[in-house]
Amino acid sequence: MQSASPLTKVHSTFADDLNAYMKSHREQDYLLIDVREPIEYELGHIPGAKPIPLGRFEARISELDSDREVLLYCAGGARSRVATAMLAASGLTPRAIFNVEGGFSAWDGKPLQDLPRVKAFDGLTGLPQILTAAMNLEKGAWRFYAALLDRHPSSPFAQTAATLVKLEREHARVVHRLLSRYSGGGALTDFDQMFAELSGDILESGEALEPALARAESLALQPCVAFAELALDIEYHAYELYRALSEQNRDPEEKGAFLTLAEQEKGHIRLIAGRLEDCFEQ
């Protein structure tokens, strides 16, 4: 999931517009991909869609036809957004790539609230500010996974959440080390104290964690899937942040550190994608 080829066009479309798209294009001109789990596909899917679960998507990208436009959808848009990034970075250059926002839930007429989005980093200047915000992002992800474990200790996603709780804290520690290096020589609060003091407010408009968790539970999705999609959204935006920071930086050591963090976030994405099938085990 590196930068897309300049030949690759990436777009968003909406479930409400999908019927019009399908009517105005010949079937041989596009490929519709469902990246949900097989049981979700069996329970209902958009006619003509090819099932490729997100956890297997990277390994099966070679099956796609580069001469066609590719449209990807999931339940609500988070999994297909990740698949879109994987495809854009794969070296395959379809005529266009579309993420179907709202996914099958919106296409099927179900009400679908927006999943909470990671808070923007607009307006930040200077590496120390950016790194502090990045550390807060890690704290926010840590809070989310910890809250998920507390609320749903028997959830099929709980084991993955427990792993991610540890990974997010370690990521925050790495960012703290970078912040120590680039804070201009000033004294920096030790990691444990700074991590404890961070708010972990990762949502738009300063939305608190409890309402966000409640909103995820109210989505017209299976609860385990709703939390997994929110987790993918968090990790995807963290990945994009670190990748952007690496591209903006000229210092080789600093650039390498951000690339390492981005690669680790990509590992988190693969971990979540590979465990989505757990949501449907009986």
Domain ranges of the chain: 10-107, 127-280
pLDDT the model gives residue 49: 94
Chain-centroid distance of CA 247 in Å reads 19
Average pLDDT value for the chain: 83
pLDDT the model gives residue 116: 47
**22 class by beta-carbon count within 10 Å (0-12 exposed, 13-18 middle, 19+ buried):** middle
pLDDT the model gives residue 279: 86
Arithmetic mean of pLDDT, 118-142 = 77
Q: Which are the contacts of 168, defined by CB distance < 8 A and separation ≥ 6?
A: 138, 139, 141, 142, 145
Lowest mean pLDDT among 8-22, 24-38, 200-214, 216-230: 200-214
- Measure the CA–CA gap between 51 and 36, rounded to whole angstroms: 7
pLDDT of 1 higher than 90: no
pLDDT the model gives residue 121: 60
Arithmetic mean of pLDDT, 244-266 = 83
Percent of the chain topping pLDDT 90: 30
- What does the pLDDT look like over 161-191, one tens digit per residue? 899 999 999 989 988 988 888 776 566 889 9
Using 50, 70 and 90 to split pLDDT, how confident is the model at 233?
A: confident
Q: What are phi and psi of 97, to 5 degrees?
A: -125, 130
This prediction's pTM: 0.78
Residues 58-75 as b or e (16 or more Cβ within 10 Å = b): beebeebeeebbbbbbbb
Q: Are 34 and 118 in contact (CB under 8 A)?
A: no
pLDDT the model gives residue 220: 64
- What does the pLDDT look like over 85-110, one tens digit per residue? 999 988 888 889 999 988 898 887 66
Q: Are 241 and 137 in contact (CB under 8 A)?
A: yes
- Measure the CA–CA gap between 29 and 31, rounded to whole angstroms: 7
- Terminal Cα-to-Cα distance of the chain (whole angstroms): 32
pLDDT of 206 higher than 60: no
Arithmetic mean of pLDDT, 220-239 = 81
pLDDT of 66 higher than 70: yes
Using 50, 70 and 90 to split pLDDT, how confident is the model at 39?
A: very high
pLDDT the model gives residue 2: 38
Coil/strand/helix, residue 233: helix
Let me know if the fold of 10-107 is the same as that of 127-280.
Answer: no
What residues are labeled active site?
74
CATH architecture of 127-280: Up-down Bundle (1.20)
pLDDT the model gives residue 109: 65
pLDDT the model gives residue 9: 65
Q: State the Cα angle at 98 between 240 and 45, rounded to 5°.
A: 115
- What does the pLDDT look like over 137-146, one tens digit per residue? 889 889 988 9
Q: Which CATH superfamily, name and number, covers 10-107?
A: Rhodanese-like domain (3.40.250.10)
